[in-house]
Structure 1
């Protein structure tokens, strides 16, 4: 059953380039365990490579002056870890694919030249918007499957039912809280630590998978 997903629309133009990257990296922390579970179940991909890439991004956020990154090389490595959903016949491939697509968008975001205050090109916001949407959509699709299983295969699942589910409520609240925090946060390592702590406080991925 196809549900039209209502994406979260946050005013990312209010965030600096650094804040957008931190927002995106924090969301990836909640998505990465989904890839790890898929990788272990399907015997595909290297979750450690994705973990290492995200760690490198956090290091850059903590001190961009000393941490140098070849984003194109990292994108090439990530491409081989991205699953083809047609090659797998179980749900886990979709949140795993969302994770890879979000990390790809994050590397692309990092390559954008920061805009001067008040002169942000709307196209420069596409990557952070995509990451927000990918995280949201992973949850939406999973919740839809849960509701179909709980109710009836023939039942009509509404967007309202999806939005009211605790996992979706948590996703929306997390993105909003993270945005509100970063909007006025300092550009330093402590902000990175606080952002990570905020999104990992429950010890679960955005789908409710326990983080090892």
Structure 2
């Protein structure tokens, strides 16, 4: 299931993507704690900048080229790490990259990839967990992933966020409510406690 946010305004697409990144960011924090690779604080600061930009009462300017240049070296190379955590960390950094690029160039369709990267992280985690339970055919594995509680929760959260952003005004309060909505369980999209 992929939610189509292409009809959203630019502001709505950014708010939707930023809220999803709030759920993904703890995965990077955990990866950093284990490997000491990357700078979760940089991504946290970039996400805070995005939220400030969304507050139309502030005149927040973002130097996209500078932010992208800071971010690119922080994308982990999966060849250098022998842990599952590298893949969600890649997804988080790629999602932030997509968000910043989409903010910089309205013609790019990068916002859909943020939602897809969040789904990819959950899909990969579920696949890993299910493969430990024994051999499954590809079709059985796909069905099991679709029914996995974490995947169901991810899809429900994306749908709820979509419905909320679709109806809400483009205000700071909407941003605060969107963040609260995706963080109300106190967990990342992989079920890591925040």
The offset of 1:36, in angstroms, is 0.6
State the secondary structure of the residue aligned to 2:129. helix
The answer on whether the counterparts of 2:14 and 2:111 sit within 8 Å (CA) in structure 1 is yes
| TM superposition outliers: structure 1 runs of 4+ over 6 Å | none
TM-score by length of 1: 0.87
Residue 145 of structure 2: aligned partner = 162
- 5+ unaligned residues in a row in structure 2: which ranges? none
1:127-146 aligned at under 5 Å gives the runs: 127-146=110-129
Tell me the alpha carbon deviations over residues 39-59 of structure 1, each in whole angstroms, 9 at most, x when there is no partner: 110111111111111011101
Residue 191 of structure 2: aligned partner = 208
1:28-47 aligned at under 5 Å gives the runs: 28-47=21-40
The offset of 1:65, in angstroms, is 5.1
User: How many angstroms apart in 2 are the aligned matches of 1:112 and 1:12?
Assistant: 16
User: How many angstroms apart in 2 are the aligned matches of 1:175 and 1:48?
Assistant: 25
Residue 105 of structure 2: aligned partner = 112
2:67 pairs with one of 64, 71, 74: 74
Pairs aligned (count): 192
More helix by share: 2
User: How many angstroms apart in 2 are the aligned matches of 1:92 and 1:13?
Assistant: 30
Q: Is 1:102 matched with 2:95?
A: yes
Tell me the alpha carbon deviations over residues 180-200 of structure 1, each in whole angstroms, 9 at most, x when there is no partner: 111121001000000000000
Q: Is 1:174 matched with 2:150?
A: no
The answer on whether the counterparts of 2:145 and 2:151 sit within 8 Å (CA) in structure 1 is yes
Residue 85 of structure 1: aligned partner = 78
- 5+ unaligned residues in a row in structure 1: which ranges? 1-7, 114-122
User: How many angstroms apart in 1 are the aligned matches of 2:153 and 2:191?
Assistant: 10
The offset of 1:155, in angstroms, is 3.0
TM-score by length of 2: 0.95
User: How many angstroms apart in 2 are the aligned matches of 1:76 and 1:90?
Assistant: 26
